[in-house]
Structure 1
Amino acid sequence: MPTNGAPTRITQGSHTRGGIGESTLRPDGTLKVTGEFAYASDMWHEDMLWGQILRSTVAHAEIVSIDTSEALATPGVYAVLTYDDLPTEVRHYGLEIQDTPVLAHGRVRHHGEPVAVVAADHPETARRAAARIRVEYRDLPVITDEASATAPAAVLLHENRTDPHAAHVRHPNIVHRQPIIRGDVERARRRADVIVEGEYVFGMQDQAFLGPESGLAVPAEDGGVDLYIATQWLHADLRQIAPVLGLPEDKIRMTLSGVGGAFGGREDLSMQIHACLLALRTGKPVKMVYNRFESFFGHVHRHPAKLYYEHGATHDGKLTHVKARIVLDGGAYASSSPAVVGNAASLGVGPYVIDDVDIEAVALYTNNPPCGAMRGFGAVQACFAYEAQMDKLAARLGMDPVEFRRLNAMSQGSLLPTGQVVDSPAPVAELLRRVKAMPLPPEQQWLVAGEEADVRQLPGGLSNTTHGEGVVRGIGYAVGIKNVGFSEGFDDYSTARVRLEAAGGEPVATVHTAMAEVGQGGVTVHAQIARTELGVAQVTILPADTRVGSAGSTSASRQTYVTGGAVRNACELVREQILERGRRRFGAHHPAWATAELLLEGGKVVTDGGEVLADLVDVLGDEAVEIEQEWRHRPTEPFDLRTGQGFGHVQYSFAAHRAVVEVDTELGLVKVIELACAQDVGKALNPLSVTGQIQGGTTQGLGVAVMEEIIVDPRTAKVRNPSFTDYLIPTILDTPTIPVDVLELADDHAPYGLRGVGEAPTLSSTPAVLAAIRNATGLELNRTPVRPEHLTGG
């Protein structure tokens, strides 16, 4: 067990009920803001070594030779491994398609691909040794876009594909293709009085999480390994790691260490296999921590995209059709690109009623950095494009952009382009009405006492470039639709183990799941559920690990729904066992114990009428009640590969934004003043946490609107800005006021009626900001992020 920074149990007491619907505080909140929280990079073990990866300096090349002799001769180096040193014939991994080599073999396919790993007794020694590995490359043609990827003579990035998608694409450099076809677009086009077209470009966004990738692998006496790791999905990691190590899964014990944010960037493996390989080879614990430069190469990013849209409408504002093509750049390896394609296609028309639809979405293999999961998962790129189209249509028709959207908004009972009926609340029109009705911020807030300009409130901020000259205000709106949970027939489930026992003269509940707490607040919600269902004040949340069944990934806004559902069901079964004990003690016919209702307060069993029947501690005695329970939501089905029809998604979430911006049109500077949001959350299990999720997602959407983009050289496919000096993310000075209006319209299919929260605001915040900038400048602005030269013609 690591001697420092080890995962710890979180025991949550409460002098109040602290159940669902209350704004209970995070148990790790104070530790994080004071710097005392143990993240994965804080892990420590006696006599541990440090691991280091050698990464490719080119994006596409044949590996002619690798010379590790100088690295091995470096004092303090314990091991140097390349592809040929891997212990089994299984040398590739992947979430869905196993196309990613553990270490590059034969050729490298993207800038920064791992080529070799080193273990040494000091991190600087490991870095120096890695730099002494000599790799000879022979350059290969670089594929960077659709034209070069699908040209007749294009180099195939993955030859002899055998994955399930290979038979359904027209070129091997296309990862996956998903059409969505409903109705007759050509006939509908003839009914349209107005048709607008647009071509949109969405930049590559980084998850920019707080803590870089890190982990600690400790070899065990039984020949296995204990891995302490910051990840989003312990069991998916385990499934990919075990075959490469040649170990049964029960010999690889994984424990979640402190995670400094994720947003999709930790769904794929980073150094998990590398650290385990080095630990097993050397017989010593091995710690690996990426620096920020490495982190830009060590995880997937949001897919950059090109989107082509055509919308039609009648003179009275009714949408007639949409025809679209969405091209996502998946980079060198598949990651979760097939699922992202499915999302982008199935959600590609937005939260609107449109009977005639023809959408094609594809993901490409290129030599650009690998792309995969990021908050919003394909729906973000589509929302940027279809919302710009809605504004274009409203302008052509002379209609208010909000009222035009409300006129075409879906509602409960609407039919999606996939043929699925929306069978839970879909208050799109109401969200738009609410966000428009919010009070606007006052004009010229940057004036002090009505005279002097406070440059902190102006575009450009403390750079002091403007004092209000040429500053114009703009207002824009957007709304989006996001799925909740895994889709397209994936067996989406979670597992929870709940234990109730007497300890120190009071009842204590213990909750154990494999849910990755990455900042979303699941540890808080699980305790709230246990308090609500069992009535106990004391709840202990055990560290997430692989000693309990899978909880799936902390992604797709699914954990509160699915793992929360598992915790609730396990609590209900524990409660039933307690009831049965009470029936045995007080008699089977005792009216209170015959009821299914049970509440525990102060260690006393209380019925509906409030009668105290027994001391729960006495009923429990020395024998605890412990139950592990799997929980599944209703099943989904794959989309048809020709038409896109199918019940593909479990649930939908909706958010609407109004952005208020001020733009210095002479200097091309933008200040986002406010990003108001209205969102339906079904049931706010923790209102404070819900608001925080909405504000966080909104800020991430702001980032990609006006500043965030990974720049890849189109000639070499090399990343040009892998640092937070050159890759800009919003600071507190960039973050606007974010008022939130929360609706709670219960979904009858979900536990407590809840709806996934964290992703939907990331969709609509970006197009709302762009709409506001367009409103201020009159410019078309069809790409993200908006840069000064786009506003000044430079």
Structure 2
Amino acid sequence: MTTTRPDTSDGVARPVTADGVGVSARRPDAVSKVRGDFVYSSDLWHDEMVWGATVRSPHPHARVLSVDASAALAMSGVHAVLTAADVPGVNRYGLERRDQPVLADDVVRYVGEPVAVVAADTPELARRAAARVRVAYAELPAVTDPTRALAGPGLHEGGNLVRHLRIRRGTPRPADVVVTGEYEVGMQDQAFLGPESCLAVPAGDGVDLYCSTQWLHIDQDQLADCLALPKESVRLTLSGVGGAFGGREDLSVQAHACMLALRLGRPVKMSYGREESFSGHVHRHPARMRYEHGATNDGKLVYVKVDILLDGGAYASTSAAVTGNAGCFAIGPYEVPAVEVDCRAVYTNNPPAGAMRGFGAVQVCFGHESQMDKLAAALDMDPVELRLRNAVDTGSVMATGQRVEGPAPVAELLRRVAGKPLPPPASDDLRLLPGGTSNATRAEHLVRGVGYGLSVKNICKSAGYDDYGTARVRIYAHEGEPAAEVHTAAAEVGQGLVTVQAQIARTELEVRRVTILPADTAVGDAGTSSASRQTWMSGGAVRAACLAVRAALLERAAARFGEPARDLVYGPVVTAPSGRCVTLAELLEDGDVDETAVFRHRRTQVLDPETGQGDAHVAYAFAAHRAVVDVDPELGSVRVVEIACAQDVGKAINPVAVEGQMHGGIAQGLGLAVMEEIQVREGRILNPSFTDYLIPTTMDMPPTALDILELPRADSPYGLTGVGEPPLLSAPAAIAAAIRDAVGVALDRIPITPETVATAVLDYCPDPIP
């Protein structure tokens, strides 16, 4: 049933267990999700509950003069209307800065900002009551251009600059060839399956909240202050999460539902529709970037200068951290002796921006990879060769002065995608042509392009953050055999973390039956399900707790045998050198073993405020993409024919889940490259639905050629590296490069729409295409 192999993280032999580490284990929620009977937070129900609805601002910037709820309260079945005056505690929350009101008090700063909340017997009645709440506003000038925001009137005390990261390393020397470029990335939505929803139940001294989130304990911290309750009186339990991708890091419905539940003394459910969801969560930061690359005639980079401006929207959310990531990775996975980076995020009256998969590294990847293609053209050099000549490796120094300590197989990743055979030419099958069956494209009108992208991003929290995970593991006897129970607060948001925790417990404890308890705040903090960190951090905590359980069981056996625990061999049957043995089930006759462990990675440093230098990151992850596209230059329509992706994962804990992460990242990258953008005009979202905000379907997704490298690290559990974000990072850049290669014109903004392509081609070549 089991064999043995070395575990590269500590040199100790570990069994290869059925559904253990390294095996493609089946997700426990797979069948119910496919059948449609998985219980999401929007499916929660309580017989005594009422429904909440939100009154939102129609203005991007205005002073709130008055709120009149009399007409709403006069409606039969309406139980409460709460405003800023009813917030029990501090009327501010936020992940990095507590700058966002629970309910707007004096000023609204974006379209859709919550002003009041209503509770009624039915969801439709709650919505109709919300429409009857009369709010008087005095409109104020809206600041919607991030460049103007830098010098414009302050939307918050202290001005509009959220953060300015400066990175200075080395002294630029003259270059033989210099290329410059200006690039833009539009606002992307996380487009998760399940809109925001929760159920708040008043209980005893506080409230029990069942919600979909990415970080239970940070929600608890903020809610306790807003509700004027001790943290232990605000108890959170994770409900079924329909995707997250960063959009559930910030509070949305949580505080509103809790306020209503505490006021009424009865359960309150809130659930957004899709249009409201577009206002109810943060989005990817739109970016404007200016680059200058200098190189020698043989293609070695001499210096890179970058200026980045991120539109943070109305509130800070994670803009400061996103600024840090964008600045740190602005030059990409390349060795550059002289670097000058300025990265700023500003407040505007646009919808708030915050965390989204890739967290700043996606935007700058489009910039630095576009520059590498432009530089290759100026040098008349193959773009793959140019990248290979400058790729970082283990021991290389990054822009922040930090040396790459772990595996950095950048050149190998690029060679792998570049070496794959190209797909065959386009056929006459309309389903496989740009525009599909609804368009008039024909194969003979198409041009094909190939493009490449390399990316780098940090794994886990950075810049001095005390990042840790907590896990409790109990082993007990169940029907005559040992069984384990794992309890963490780690949010399963669709990434397969529940499966990973069970795999680790099976491997370390060598038991078949493992139960993963619901994530809640009754156990210690697990940190956020973001930064590609949970398998490393919570997985590390589960492993540490399992090792503590093993040690306790060996001590029990040692007491029975009268032999030192260090000489015993752990397994389903614990054996001693003397030949004596005892089963785990027999050891558990003396009672359960219950251990809690906290796992931390090594400490990192805050970047120097003047130079941006410092050992800020725990680890780096790298990926390479190659995109092949067919383009109809006249219509501007694009078909992504194939995407190849190579990624170093350290150790694939669940190989099939790693493949799933790669497919998902490529899909989101494709969306950003050619179709996904929240259209904002004068602060208003123009396309808040999946009818108008386009995301890739199965018909848009091309075949993918995946290469998973397992180069174990020395500093992580099982040698693993976070896998969630890298497969997205350079996919948009590679697709954009392929489209440029096909049509031969500059395309410096993503997403690249058919109109963009057709207009650019017409401007470059005004004569009709034959």
Give the TM-score normalised by structure 2: 0.95
Partner residue of 2:167?
180
Cα distance in structure 2, aligned partners of 1:398 and 1:303? 34
Q: Are residue 655 (structure 1) and residue 630 (structure 2) matched?
A: no
Separation in 2 of the partners of 1:395 and 1:40?
51
Change (3 A) 1:608 1:689: farther
Aligned to 2:190: 207
1:465 and 2:446 correspond: no
2:570 partner letter: L
Deviations along 1:430-456, whole A, 9 cap, x unmatched?
000011111211112x3xxxxxx2211
Task: Name the CA distance, whole Å, in 2 between partners of 1:596 and 1:401.
Answer: 57
Map 1:13-92 → 2, pairs under 5 A: 17-88=18-89, 90-92=90-92
Cα distance in 1, alignment partners of residues 614 and 628 from structure 2: 39
Letter in 2 for 1:488: A
Q: Does structure 1 conserve the Cα–Cα contact (< 8 Å) formed by 2:237 and 2:519?
A: yes
Give the distance between the partners of 1:15 and 1:650, measured in 2 at CA. 28
For residue 747 of structure 1, report the CA deviation from its aligned partner: 1.0
Query: What is the one-letter code of the residue matched to 1:302?
Result: R
**1:751-782 deviation per Cα after TM superposition (whole angstroms, max 9, x unaligned):** 11100101011111000000000000001100
1:632 aligns with 2:600: yes
Equivalence for 2:124:
124
Give the structure 1 partner of residue 726 of structure 2: 760
Q: Tell me if 1:197 matches 2:166.
A: no
Please say which of residues 693-702 and 202-211 is displaced more in the overlay: 693-702
Is structure 2 residue 747 aligned with structure 1 residue 781?
Answer: yes
SS of the residue 2:704 aligns to = coil
Long gaps (5+) in structure 2: 1-14, 763-770
**Count of paired positions:** 746
CA distance in 2, matches of 1:194, 1:606: 69
Take 1:263 and 1:597, find their aligned partners in 2: how far apart are those partners?
Answer: 43
Aligned residue type for 1:550: D
Q: Check conservation: 2:146, 2:310, Cα contact below 8 A.
A: no
Distance (Å, rounded) in 2 between the aligned partners of 1:632 and 1:399: 45
Counterparts of 1:607 and 1:130, CA distance in 2: 71
Q: How does 1:17-416 map to 2 (within 5 A)?
A: 17-88=18-89, 90-151=90-151, 154-159=152-157, 161=158, 172-185=159-172, 188=173, 190=174, 192-220=175-203, 222-416=204-398
2:453 counterpart (469, 478, 488)? 478
Q: Which residue of 2 aligns with 1:724?
A: 690
State how far apart, in whole Å, the 2-side matches of 1:53 and 1:757 are.
37
Q: Equivalent residue of 2:684, what SS? A: coil
Match of 2:570 in 1: 598
Q: Give the Cα–Cα distance (whole angstroms) in 2 for the partners of residues 606 and 322 of structure 1.
A: 61
Deviation at 1:403, TM superposition (A): 1.1
**Correspondence list, 1:491-640, <5 A:** 491-589=466-564, 593-595=565-567, 597-600=569-572, 604-605=573-574, 613-640=581-608
Distance 1:147 1:301 in 2: 19
Alpha-carbon shift at residue 598 of structure 1 (Å): 1.4
Match of 2:10 in 1: none
Residue segments in structure 1 that go unaligned for 5+ positions in a row: 1-13, 162-171, 447-452
Aligned-residue offset at 1:686: 0.6
Aligned-partner SS, 1:768: helix
CA shift for structure 1 position 18: 1.4
Structure 2 CA distance for aligned equivalents of residues 404 and 149 of structure 1: 38
Q: TM-score, normalised by structure 1?
A: 0.93
Contact 2:563 2:576 in 1 (8 A): no
CA distance in 2, matches of 1:639, 1:607: 52
Task: Describe the shift of the 1:392–1:597 C-alpha distance in structure 2 as closer, same or farther (beyond 3 A).
Answer: farther
User: Contact 2:568–2:576 (CA<8 Å) still a contact in 1?
Assistant: no
Could you list the runs of 4 or more consecutive aligned residues of structure 1 that deviate by over 4 angstroms after TM superposition? 606-609
Shift of 1:98: 0.3
Percentage identity across aligned positions? 59
- Distance of 1:687 and 1:607 partners within structure 2: 35
Which amino acid letter does the alignment assign opposite residue 78 of structure 1? H
Amino acid at match of 1:673: V
**2:17–2:507 contact (8 Å) kept in structure 1:** no
Q: Is the 8 A contact 2:319 2:345 kept in 1?
A: yes
Match of 2:765 in 1: none
Aligned mate of 2:639, from 653, 671, 684: 671
C-alpha distance 608-402 of structure 1, shift in aligned 2 (>3 A): farther
Contact 2:181–2:291 (CA<8 Å) still a contact in 1? Answer: yes
Kept after mapping to 2: 8 A contact 1:469/1:664: no
C-alpha contact (below 8 Å) 1:502/1:622 kept by paired residues:
no
* Separation in structure 2 between the aligned mates of residue 687 and residue 465 of structure 1, nearest angstrom: 41
Contact 1:598–1:607, Cα closer than 8 Å, also in 2: no
Q: Structure 1 pair 114/596, CA: closer, same or farther in 2 (3 Å)?
A: farther
What is the alpha-carbon distance in structure 2 between the residues aligned to residue 19 and residue 633 of structure 1? 23
CA displacement at 1:398 relative to structure 2? 1.2
Deviation at 1:608, TM superposition (A): 10
Aligned-partner residue type, residue 737 of structure 1: P
CA distance in 2, matches of 1:146, 1:544: 39
Look up the match of 1:697. Answer: 665
Residue type of the alignment partner of 1:712: V
How far the C-alpha of 1:419 sits from its partner, in A, is 1.1
Q: After superposition, what is the alpha-carbon deviation per residue over 1:540-568, rounded to whole angstroms, capped at 9, x for unaligned? A: 00000000000000000000001100011
Contact kept in structure 2, 1:659 and 1:768, CA below 8 Å: yes
1: distance between equivalents of 2:567 and 2:635?
Answer: 71
* CA–CA separation in structure 1 for the residues paired with 2:61 and 2:567: 68
Offset at 1:464? 3.2
TM-superposed deviation, 1:678: 0.5
1:9 is aligned to none
